[in-house]
Structure 1
């Protein structure tokens, strides 16, 4: 079903709207339902004096590394080991650990905390260096995520995504809440509350703003909200439907889908809502635009061939640069294109024998594979390192979020105790 029609069907009774950054009552619960291969065995020792801190740094690090599907945690014992302690490499090798993490937490006079750690290669018997991070009590989880990112990159040669954030829409008790949370689903904060649907959240490239569609005025309107000041602006309130905002890589523009002339078409606007320009030029429904990683192209869903498929056009638009080219050919219906930040992959939702499944396609070859065996997938979103895809699905009639590695080996489920969650978006790197 076309996303515009889906949006309209989600509209319900009138209600109130509230912008807030209050802590969300329902934290996401994460379950690892599949595991990867080629584990790197690592021991993360308890940090000295971390028991006196509001967050247990070593536990967060272990959980992050386990979620990645790339590490296996070797039991390090109960005794804390500081980063200044001498390391007996032989004993850790005997326990099966190829790497070791030690550290400490110090409560400073100004109320902040200093976290120090060291990372060791026990095979080569090398100190791989470490970091010292200072943060407030409320940011200790972020410090732990940054340490996990450091470990991930140092040992695997790829940037970690543990310190990034997610956004999603929770629907509980007749209320819709746009929320943001850490990548592990913790530290959830509510950005917007409404009794009308909120859909299509999209992070700005710098992670300071989020665009979304709200039905608070009985029609879909696109807003951009600053996450620090909480100020928001209606950037597209054109006649008819305003939907599917997508940021350009430089953050200066949005691609949007508008029914301004009757049938929905793709337009671009400046991030402040000025300079509206039509890009697609067909008599069909063109929707769900997404910029390519280099900003030169826009991928979108269109039924111009008789059924929904994914097409690509120049960012200059069809009238200027020529007709769009069809990109997907496997499956009778393909929608919801999402481009990986590294520019190599296209994720989308394919209808297969009546089921909606997450697929990933290599842009260079056109080769596509299914990543899930579920039947109600929607709204894919790449992690900023292009290694994982977050998406919405249903399990036992409940809306949940799921994450899968792009090789299909690692799977996670994120849910809340009461209610449904959908419309996920993975935030960018911010440092």
Structure 2
């Protein structure tokens, strides 16, 4: 299925946190207390979309003691995680009226006057073996009590991971739902590089990397480098393997790679198209697109035996398979009706049913972990957006602004969708929240002239 055209530039719109009510201006202006963050440390969180239902929360910089001077600041990472979820309105760090480190130091009436419902405080001190002892508390400002709290022992290199862990705890304690801040994403990074031995007038060549990173795009680790295109990374259910498409050797092939060892094996290299791998929920099969018999159809590959079986048989292009969580149904993109739309069929083949009818272009299906929602690329007025269809209520909702958004992937908790935005000139990753309407660029994936695309969560 051909990709939509992309503009050369598409900078995201920005939204800064709401101004505090005028009645509180004097409180904020007179709160120049010890520990107020410096201007250069201000954390600016860009959010696109409304936050009327967001829960107000303040994340206070963690106090340090005993000479602790960590390079990684925990509080801004937690603040960015919670803001990105769309379910929280995070008080800007510059607006904090105090920096308490524990519940005993908190004047709850002051925070209630600011409209804050919850407060996160904590501290760091040196441990015994070049590590840190970290503690945090989640405080209910309305009730004036601790909701959650815990101590940790952690090294400098694990402070960012700890911050995501705390974000998950906070998210679960307040919303009752599991967070996904500690999960990982995979994506393809494309860059321009001068060829070895090339002359000054020779054009640069493209280089491709398969990257695994934290859910916010930080701590990226390259697991494969290539001079030929890489496409369509897909996580195994056990999260220890990635399937992907490589064009090494001149043609498309599907590989599966072990992340711990780097060992990989070729699972599809038939004549013609080998593309769009998708793992079955039990991790034993891959659904792929093959054209070995002429037309592009959806096939299942048994990873143990190598047995390959077609589940669609049509003259049109059937591609981009996505499994339902029950492992019994496959969703896929097809132009069998004249325009790309999403269809579904059983894994044993049989009747094919059209699923999408909103507009003339819907492609790249992906199912939420519960199977209740279907995310896709939706074209509207010439622009490509990420949209979600509720399969039970048949409700349809556009999440992103476009104009060249692609490759949606649900978070493990189903509350957010990750996708590529920005176009050819500077493609990067964004997340869209299904609750709260927050659309947030992942700043760690925004690099001038770089292309970060094909994300998988």
- Does the alignment pair 1:237 with 2:266? no
Corresponding residue for residue 58 of structure 2: 43
Partner of 1:134: 153
Tell me by how many angstroms 1:85 deviates.
Answer: 3.8
Q: Distance in 1 between matches of 2:229 and 2:421?
A: 18
On the 8 A contact 1:115/1:132 being kept in 2, the answer is yes
1:253 aligns with 2:268: no
Q: 2:413 aligns with which of 363, 374, 385?
A: 385
Q: CA distance change for structure 1 residues 241 and 301 in 2, over 3 Å: closer, same or farther?
A: same
Q: Secondary structure at the match of 2:422?
A: strand
Maintained 8 Å contact 2:126/2:132: yes
| Structure-2 change in CA distance of 1:355 and 1:66 (3 Å) | closer
After superposition, the C-alpha distances for 1:66-88 in whole angstroms (9 at most, x for unaligned) are 22222223357587543474543
Matches within 5 A, 1:221-232: 221-232=253-264
Q: Kindly state the Cα deviation for residue 57 of structure 1 after the two structures are TM-superposed.
A: 1.2
- The corresponding residue for 2:451 is 420
TM-superposed deviation, 1:393: 2.5
Q: Out of 99, 106, 130, which is 1:111 matched to?
A: 130
The offset of 1:242, in angstroms, is 0.9
Aligned partners of 2:109 and 2:98: how far apart in 1?
18
Partner-residue secondary structure (3-state), 1:91: helix
Considering only CA atoms, is the larger Rg found in Structure 1 or Structure 2? 2
Q: Which residue of 1 aligns with 2:392?
A: 364
Deviation at 1:258, TM superposition (A): 0.9
1:191 aligns with 2:207: no
Q: Is the 8 A contact 1:30 1:184 kept in 2?
A: no
1:82–1:104 contact (8 Å) kept in structure 2: yes
Contact 2:361–2:379 (CA under 8 A) maintained in structure 1: yes
In structure 1, distance between residues paired with 2:437 and 2:176: 19
* 8 Å Cα contact 1:152-1:160 kept in structure 2: yes
User: TM-score, normalized by length of structure 1?
Assistant: 0.86
Counterparts of residues 335-354 of structure 1 (less than 5 Å):
335-354=363-382
Task: Name the CA distance, whole Å, in 1 between partners of 2:398 and 2:141.
Answer: 38
Structure 1 residues 80 and 238: alpha-carbon distance in aligned structure 2, compared to 1, 3 A threshold: same
SS in 2 for 1:200: strand
| 1:288 aligned to which of 311, 316, 320 | 320
Task: Could you tell me which runs of 5 or more consecutive residues in structure 2 were left unpaired when the two chains were aligned.
Answer: 6-43, 193-205
On the 8 A contact 1:197/1:214 being kept in 2, the answer is yes
Equivalent residue, structure 1, for 2:72 = 55
Task: Note the alpha carbon deviations across 1:339-379, whole angstroms, 9 max, x for none.
Answer: 11121111112233433222211111323232233232221
Residue pair 2:190, 2:450 contacting (<8 A) in 1 also? yes
Q: Distance in 2 between matches of 1:273 and 1:171?
A: 34
- The total of aligned residue pairs comes to 399
- Could you say what secondary structure the match of 2:250 adopts? coil
1:4-44 CA distance string (max 9 Å, x none): x99xxxxxxxxxxxxxxxxxxxxxx9843335222222222
Q: Deviations over 1:162-212 (max 9, x none)?
A: 111222111111211111221222111111111111110111122211111
Q: Which runs of 4+ in 1 moved over 6 A?
A: none
2:431 maps to 403
